[in-house]
Chain A
């Protein structure tokens, strides 16, 4: 593992919402191609942490370097950083006024300045990859939750991102649909995508994660390989949490 492999570096990150200290001295380094699962109780700051990585949240202290670019107030080309980082949301956040195909082709056309036919070909390719090639002409409101989340994955992949962030992508889904989304995510992991995933799907964590991070009260409490994390957690706090979710 060389220094050059590092694609995300977070050092002494602190963030406050008003007076509320939501992230406390976070240190995290992610290598290219690594898969990281973040878990922890509600309100522990998981979403805030990954939202800092594409600067949907602005931090006050510490350094975040993504893809070689330091995220701070002097940043001119925030859009360039964001276009390399795909993000999946709990609520999918598809654009309801556009068809599935338009959802996927939008950013390649307007950010990458790709001609429409090329962008749509790309969109078709990724819709096939998430196994919904036949829904391209539908509107998001006409799809099931699992299909919508897979469209959201395709939409993010169309930008050819180097990193994918997932914020509880399956927690708004019915059990029947969770698997279809997780299957796509597992495939993505096997293809070598760098992934940071907030999820409580422990089966998924076991299967693909290189590291599991447990957060509480805005801190990283424990960081471990998945086997060790689940079978032999170091801290009592982790043990308590695992006993509740497993």
Chain B
């Protein structure tokens, strides 16, 4: 009786692997593909040329005022950015005190980077630093008035500083608040459920501008005379509440995707509601909605530009403000400023996006 032996695998034919095979399959498979490839390549080359001409070849790089940027064929006016960089980063924060802002940025980076690298050790210490020490440190450093630090009114803050303060506060507050709202919306207790539904629907139903306007103009009308808290603080609260309503719905989407069996398995093992939620449900639900969470973060980051409406100057606001400076009035000032602001926003948002993809891959467990 002949024994059955499985056929051993053979390597794939050489014509189906490697770059030339890839190019043949994806770029030049049909005459139509060839035409598209050629057209696409031509477009990319043309666009690249335009950008390089504008940003480098025809651009000005040095100068102290508008005269540097008035060539007959003028590209970007980089000296404008250079001259205003301090304003763009710190707003009207006193120049002698900007080291405090730099220190806050530095500590933020020092706390955040090891947090984001999964292999870095001391995670619980890291979390304590970021959630416990860092907010207090930031508050004391930026506002001053303690430890001999000069007081700096928040009305003097501006630029990237305001953008980051608003965005980071919104991001840090919206995730926990959003999770609580999402859980509350699924609660069996009617009071909690209706409160959460009401909160979410109200804040999702109105534009952020309205929320900011209410926070900065209407709220003081309801507060008793003399009670007056900071305009930036009111904006922070408005942004945090607004974004947590969005976050709640993203998280709820994740919660809904978790099969009932997961809750039952947790319950059957004797884990109560909170332990089941924290150890079993949330890790899975949040992982599922990482793209949605990051999407909300990115939206929030860009929405910080709306604080201009209540008189706070974020990065974009302050860039626009400096367009009015007559000593820098050139035809290229606007576009250069917008490209700069856009690039800064893009770097932050793109970093968040890449990080979310990295985390998705890392957390995938072969399901």
- Which residues of A are interface residues toward B (Cβ below 8 A)? 54, 56, 79-80, 82-83, 85-87, 89, 91, 93-97, 106-107, 110-111, 139-142, 155-156, 159
Chain B residues with CB under 8 Å of A89's CB are 261, 264-265
Residue from A54, A93, A106 in contact with B279 in the complex, judged by beta carbons closer than 8 Å: A106
Chain A residue nearest to B284 (CB atoms) is A97
Closest to B265 in A: A93
Q: How far is the CB of A167 from chain B (nearest CB, A)?
A: 10
14 A–B contact pairs at CB < 8 A? A79-B270, A93-B259, A93-B265, A95-B284, A96-B284, A96-B365, A97-B283, A97-B284, A139-B367, A142-B365, A142-B366, A155-B269, A156-B269, A159-B270
CB atoms of A87 and B283 under 8 A apart: no
Q: How far is the CA of A85 from the CA of B270 in the complex (A)?
A: 9
Chain B CB within 10 Å — which of A56, A87, A95, A106 has the most?
A: A95
Residue of A nearest to B269 (CB): A107
With A89-B261, A89-B264, A95-B262 known as contacts, the answer to whether A111 contacts B365 (CB < 8 A) is: no
B366's partner among A111, A141, A155 (CB-CB below 8 A) is: A141
Which residue on chain A has the smallest CB distance to residue B283? A97
The answer to whether A56 touches B366, judged by C-beta atoms less than 8 angstroms apart, is: no
| A91 CA / B259 CA spacing, docked (Å) | 11
Chain B residue contacts of A97, Cβ below 8 A: 283-284, 287, 363, 365
The answer to whether B280 and A95 touch across the interface, beta carbons within 8 angstroms, is yes
B267 touches A96 (CB 8 A): no
Interface membership of B24, Cβ < 8 A: no
| Contact B268 A86, beta carbon cutoff 8 Å | yes
Distance of A25 Cα from B270 Cα, bound (Å): 28
Distance (whole angstroms) from the CB of A89 to the closest CB of chain B = 6
Query: How distant is the Cα of A139 from the Cα of B284 in the complex, in angstroms?
Result: 13
A243 to B259, CA, bound (A): 35
Q: Which residue of A lies closest to B286 (CB)?
A: A97
- Give Cα distance in the complex from A106 to B271, angstroms: 9
Chain A positions within 8 Å of B267 at CB level: 54, 56, 82
Residues of B within 8 A of A110 (CB): 271, 275, 279
Whether B367 contacts A96 by the Cβ 8 Å rule is yes
Q: Is the beta-carbon distance between B365 and A83 smaller than 8 angstroms? A: no
Query: B366 and A107: CB pair below 8 A?
Result: no
In the complex, B135 has a CB within 8 A of chain A: no
- Return chain B residues, CB-CB under 8 Å to A91: 259, 261
Most buried by A among B262, B269, B287: B269
Contacts A96-B367, A110-B279, A139-B366 hold; do A83 and B264 have CB atoms under 8 A apart? Answer: no
**Given A110-B279, A139-B365, A139-B366; A83-B265 close (CB under 8 Å):** no
Residue of B nearest to A80 (CB): B270
Question: In the complex, how many residues of chain B place their beta carbon closer than 8 angstroms to a beta carbon of chain A?
Answer: 21
Cα(A98)–Cα(B271), bound, Å: 16
Q: Are B270 and A82 in contact (CB under 8 A)?
A: yes
Chain A residue, CB-CB nearest to B264:
A56
Q: Report chain B residues within 8 Å CB of A142.
A: 365-366
The 6 closest A-B pairs by CB, nearest first: A83-B270, A93-B265, A107-B269, A93-B261, A139-B365, A87-B268
- Asked whether B272 is an interface residue with its Cβ less than 8 Å from the other chain, the reply is yes
Q: Which residue of A lies closest to B272 (CB)?
A: A79
Which B residues between 51 and 105 are near A, CB-CB below 8 angstroms?
A: none
Complex Cα gap A107–B280 (Å): 11
A54 vs B287: C-alpha distance when bound (angstroms) = 30
B140 CB to closest chain A CB, in angstroms? 37
A139 contacts across to B, CB distance below 8 A: 365-367
Distance between Cα atoms of A203 and B272 in the complex (Å): 37
**Which residue of B is nearest A112, CB measured?**
B270
> Measured between alpha carbons, how far is A91 from B264 in the docked complex, in Å?
11
- 14 other contacts beyond A79-B272, A91-B259, with CB at 8 A cut-off? A54-B267, A79-B270, A82-B267, A82-B268, A82-B270, A87-B264, A87-B265, A89-B261, A94-B265, A97-B283, A107-B270, A110-B275, A140-B365, A156-B269
Q: How far is the CB of A85 from chain B (nearest CB, A)?
A: 7
Chain A residues contacting B264 (CB-CB under 8 Å) are 56, 87, 89, 93
- Could you say which residues of chain A place their CB within 8 Å of the CB of B272? 79
Closest partner residue, chain B, to A152 (CB atom): B265
Contact check: which of A79, A93, A159 meets B262 at CB < 8 Å? A93
Residue pair B365, A141 in contact (C-beta under 8 Å): yes
Contact A79 B271 (CB under 8 A): yes
> How close is A116's CB to chain B, nearest CB, in angstroms?
13
Residues of chain B within 8 A (CB-CB) of A85 are 268
Give min CB distance, A100 to chain B, whole Å: 11
A43 → B minimal CB distance (Å): 18
**In chain B, residues 276-292, which have Cβ atoms closer than 8 Å to a Cβ of chain A?**
279-280, 283-284, 287
Q: How far, in whole Å, are A85 and B271 apart by their CA atoms in the complex?
A: 12
CA distance A193 to B192 in the complex (A): 42
CB distance from B251 to the nearest CB of A (A): 16
The answer to whether A107 touches B271 (Cβ under 8 A) is yes
Distance A97 CA – B287 CA, assembled complex (angstroms): 9
In the assembled complex, the CB of B335 is this many whole angstroms from the nearest CB of chain A, namely: 48
Q: Which residues of B contact A141 (CB under 8 A)?
A: 365-367
Q: Which of B269, B280, B287 contacts A83 (CB 8 A)?
A: B269
